[in-house]
Structure 1
Amino acid sequence: MNKITTCPEFPKTCKSLLSKYLTQDVYSKLNEKKTANNFTLENAILSGVVNLDSGIGVYAGDIESYTTFNLLFDPIIEDYHGFSKEDKHTSNLNPNDLNAPNPDEEGKYILSTRIRVGRNFANIPLGPAITKEQREKIENDASNALNSLNDDLKGTYYPLDGMPENIKKQLISDHFLFKAGDRFLEAAGLNRDWPSGRGIFHNDEKTFLVWVNEEDQLRIISMQEGGDIKEVFERLTTAIKKIEEKIQFSYNDHLGYITSCPTNLGTAMRASVHIKLPNLSEDMNRFKNITDNFHLQIRGIHGEHSESVGGVYDISNKRRLGVTEVQCVQDMYDGVVELIKIEKELENK
């Protein structure tokens, strides 16, 4: 890849927020700047310049990127999250504030529930700007913190580097193993030194999982079969609290929890269910109207851009920044209650 030496010109077909907000004026003002970690505008925009089908097209290399390159990041954040540079973010991880009795006691509709957050270490660069040594230090500190968890969070940490074949097979069959990132993350510098410094922790019950040094330095995941959304949230918040006793996370009052991709800022949370809606999904307009009302996103069961299988969909919160974690999960819960209600009505017809 040649160095970016002039303001990139994007084709008309490019719809990324980078192409929308990187004007010649913005480029000229930011091009010579760099953060204390030597992260430059070129580093921030490379993924979106290489991948013209990006939705966003920018990544931050550290918390400072959001102020150093604010002329680019601020309008992108406002466009995506509807959140202005004067706004403040508030966090609330108190499960007692969530009203979410199991909406599907019989287990007829909700196959599984999964809530995850991204977290990055304070005072260390984010994935796109990190050094190999810093990444290894994160792995060391994270594995120590995770291996000290007890009760139903007690489990084992597995480094990816030099992983024995039998463990690899087991983690693949559990759908726990993550691979090197896609071409978007590759161009952002997030795949460097693969697989050094990466690993996976899971508890003995396989209801709690942490990815170390994937897109975010920690991706903390609570999950189980069925629709007890509150129980999944409680497990997650307990784990976060325990990990925070050993590790300080990168956070500020404006952007909340700091992540390399601006779409995850704020709560960095994705609360989702796999739910079976064969009748409602026959009328995708109606389906989408309901999810839009509750600020939810519809995906196929294998993640973004995938198809549904057998009328099963992945439904998750769309809002992350400017709302609390409790609101994110409440959005998802309230939307799921409505989806089940409509599915039942359609069955009875």
Structure 2
Amino acid sequence: MAIEQAIDHFLSSTCEWLRGTGPESDIVMSSRTRLARNMTGYLFSGRMDVAAQQQMIEDVAKAVASVPFLKNAYFFNYKSLKDLDRQFLLERHLISREHATEKGEKALVVTQNEVVSIMVLEEDHLRIQVFQSGLNLVEAWRLIDKIDSALESKLLYAFDPSLGYLTACPTNLGTGFRSSCMLHLVGLMMTKQVDKVLQALSKLNFAARGFFGEGTQASGNFFQFSNQLTLGQSEVDIVDGLERVMKQIIEHEKEARNYLLEKRRAKLEDQIWRAVGTLKSARLMSSAEASGLLSLMRLGIDLGMIKNLSKTNLNALFLFTQPAHLQKLSASMLKAVERDQKRAELLRTRLKDVEVA
């Protein structure tokens, strides 16, 4: 299927991690598991020549075609992708920034519901990702393990009995497994407690990143938390460890929200009402401003202050207001000021029936 048809499908459907369902979905946007895999007989991605890259893409395509869960998945060779297409896929978290920008032969596998994406020839030969809505790490692990086992029966992975799965970066040695959760910590941000949480996590060897992963800031008060160590730990240990820590952060966020309701309710309501008013009336809106105001609106939904807007539709606006999504929706390339106009227009249209309780 051509990339244009796939993007049309993505624009008209809700991806898994935006559904707003699953355990603790008022605070946890999504859970993700990721596996790094390399194949024997090939150099690492950064040292492969074009012929080897092309051969690997063919090998992976054959293996993917044999996996039942991936039967109807999209398979994109990057030769067919424009820069805007890559940015669009990056905004949907289906590829990394490195996979979007680095040169060379690359490919991408994505299931139609966007639960699974497989980057071919990223830092490692394969970066397999599974997304689930809410705090659902166990299910994300079960699914990625199933897919990985099916691929391993067709592809010869590089594995050492002492070190485990061999990876381009030593920090991924062992299981090659990372798990992460994206949390909406607006309460901790508003009560200025989030720095304490981040410092504590750093001491426990957990990484904190922004909305779009490594090297990004916490846009819209969203933070991604993930394990940093893989060697010497089983996948179950990693999942259990992250889930325990996430539950502690969730409790801190709930306490912060309760404090805001009990001690600063008038100010909280004022901020949420102002956010709704601005989003429904602005004629120009930047990405950063939209993310901040949508964050307040999401809090308003969770606290029962906003009517006629589902969390799923609100979550989708975090994506649809991003630059590539706006341009795909408009079917044209837009300058910065034109994007700000289109973003404001989109928000006014999508939020016109929203009311505050």
Answer whether contact 2:205 2:229 (CA < 8 A) is retained.
Answer: yes
Aligned to 1:37: none
Q: Does 1:343 align with 2:261?
A: no
How much does 1:181 deviate? 5.7
Answer whether contact 1:273 1:314 (CA < 8 A) is retained.
Answer: yes
Amino acid at match of 1:234: R
How much does 1:300 deviate? 1.5
Aligned to 1:150: 68
1:147-170 per-residue CA deviation (whole Å, 9 max, x = no partner) reads 222146641211111347997686
Among 211, 225, 228, the alignment partner of 1:318 is 228
Distance 1:236 1:243 in 2: 10
Distance 2:258 2:83 in 1: 50
Structure 2 CA distance for partners of 1:153 and 1:267, relative to 1, 3 Å: farther
How much does 1:332 deviate? 1.1
Distance 1:210 1:290 in 2: 32
Distance 1:285 1:106 in 2: 22
How much does 1:229 deviate? 1.5
Q: Does 1:328 align with 2:328?
A: no
Structure 2 CA distance for partners of 1:290 and 1:279, relative to 1, 3 Å: farther
Pairwise CA RMSD of aligned residues?
2.8
- When the two structures are aligned, how many residues end up with a matched partner? 237
Distance 1:106 1:178 in 2: 26
Structure 2 CA distance for partners of 1:348 and 1:178, relative to 1, 3 Å: closer
Distance 1:209 1:203 in 2: 7
Aligned to 1:267: 175
Among 291, 295, 300, the alignment partner of 2:205 is 295
Distance 2:151 2:39 in 1: 11
Aligned to 2:156: 248
Unpaired segments of 5 or more residues in structure 1?
Answer: 1-102, 184-190
Aligned to 2:25: 107
Amino acid at match of 1:240: D
Aligned to 2:92: 174
How much does 1:205 deviate? 1.5
1:42-72 per-residue CA deviation (whole Å, 9 max, x = no partner) reads xxxxxxxxxxxxxxxxxxxxxxxxxxxxxxx
Structure 1 ranges of 4+ moved more than 4 A: 164-170, 177-183
Greater relative contact order: 1 or 2 (C-alpha under 8 angstroms, separation 6 or more)? 1
Distance 1:155 1:136 in 2: 20
Distance 2:133 2:22 in 1: 12
Alignment partner of 1:335: what SS?
A: helix
Amino acid at match of 2:179: A
Q: Does 1:136 align with 2:44?
A: no
Alignment partner of 1:266: what SS?
A: coil
- More helix, by proportion: 2
Structure 2 CA distance for partners of 1:127 and 1:295, relative to 1, 3 Å: same
Answer whether contact 2:184 2:222 (CA < 8 A) is retained.
Answer: yes
Alignment partner of 1:307: what SS?
A: coil
Amino acid at match of 1:301: F
> Percent identity, aligned pairs only?
23
The TM-score with structure 2 as length reference comes to 0.60
Amino acid at match of 1:270: R
Unpaired segments of 5 or more residues in structure 2?
Answer: 1-20, 260-357
Aligned to 2:279: none
Amino acid at match of 2:27: Y
Amino acid at match of 1:245: S
